[in-house]
Amino acid sequence: MSAHISSSLTADEAAFVAYVNEVARDKIAPRADELDQTGEFPWDNIRLLNELGLNGAFIPEEYGGAPLSYSCYLNLVEAVARACPSTAITWATTFHAVSPIVTFGTEKQKLKYLPKIASGGIAAVAITESTGGSDARAMLSRLTPDGEGWRLNGSKVFITNGDVADMLLVFAKWDSDADRRHELTCVLLDGNADGLEIVRRESKLGHRASSTVELRFDNVRIEADQVLGQAGYGFEILLAMLNKSRPSVAAEAIGIAQAAFDECCDYINQRRQFGQRILDFQGVQFMLADMATKLVTARAWLVEVGRMVDAGRADFDVEASILKVAASDAAMSIATNAVQLQGGYGYITGSKVERLFRDAKLTQIWEGANELHRARIGKSFLA
């Protein structure tokens, strides 16, 4: 597998990404199929990423990190996803949860959580409920005033890392009289908090080694200093978080697409039918050309969005949606074609492209279904 590294990185960042690509290829990729089939959480892979210092990539130096650019982070997500999407989603979710603490947290909150994450901790984000996925306003989890703090009650579903997290970022409604813009509050919760119950771990189509659980909050005590930002500003925090997490979903999708493309190319260069290689057929060449075009186009837009974030641009939500749709659709299309071109071999459990086909589907669903993003993109052109 050849490494694809953004030209926007510094020389040191490019060298680091290249090294992570090599480690992921040699030490993470060989176990990806096994982990997918057993559903075992990738503890060894997470420890390896921490040995490489990847958690420090999104933590400021004063809290034990060694921060890298956002573009570099996206390249790292792609590198890990090419080797093992389950490991990539586990690691990237920690970034999704920690980024808001870096931006909105108090000094006390940063000192409590950031050094722990920098040293290898795992984090989770709890948004989705059975009453609504992409519709955050449909959530029913509630914060009820109790003295100087609150009590948290409710449940969350499809929570990545929910049963292994050292800390959780939880969104809940807090005031029935608040206007729609201020009806959510974001709170920080320790993974071992009293009243936090792991209801069950889900069995999934893909990303099977990634832990996805249902959580229940039973009268969980929330102190005033556990509120991130301030009460009623959950939507602001949520949108800021999603704008940065969606490009990383795209980076993961591109990693999956690249892995499927590489595996497919190897196969159709070697497999022979009717006395010639499969790739010698012009129809197959056309399919491969379309796959390559989608992959290169999505990666080019990933680079552009990374540059926007690193330049300090705040209003890139539409660009992030375009990227998420383009990359995830490319991943699903490329993985589907990879299965088709391998025929029966590609359809068998244990085939790499079969696993990537299943993994690719999630990228079209999580962090906002692609239909939601298409609606957002379309509305942006209203005069």
Q: Do residues 122 and 151 lie in contact, with contact meaning Cβ atoms separated by under 8 Å?
A: no
367 is catalytic: yes
The helix/strand/coil state of 337 is: helix
Single-letter amino acid code for the residue at 15: A
Residue 129 DSSP one-character state: B
Q: Measured at the alpha carbon of residue 167, what is the angle toward residues 162 and 173, in degrees to the nearest 5?
A: 80
Residue 277 DSSP SS3:
strand
Distance CA 220, CA 198 (A): 13
**Cα–Cα distance measured from residue 260 to residue 201, given in angstroms and rounded to the nearest whole number:** 28
273: number of CA atoms within 13 Å, CB side?
11
Catalytic option among 62, 304, 367, 371: 367
Residue 304, H or E segment: helix 282-310
Return d(Cα 44, Cα 96) in angstroms, integer. 21
Known catalytic residues? 367
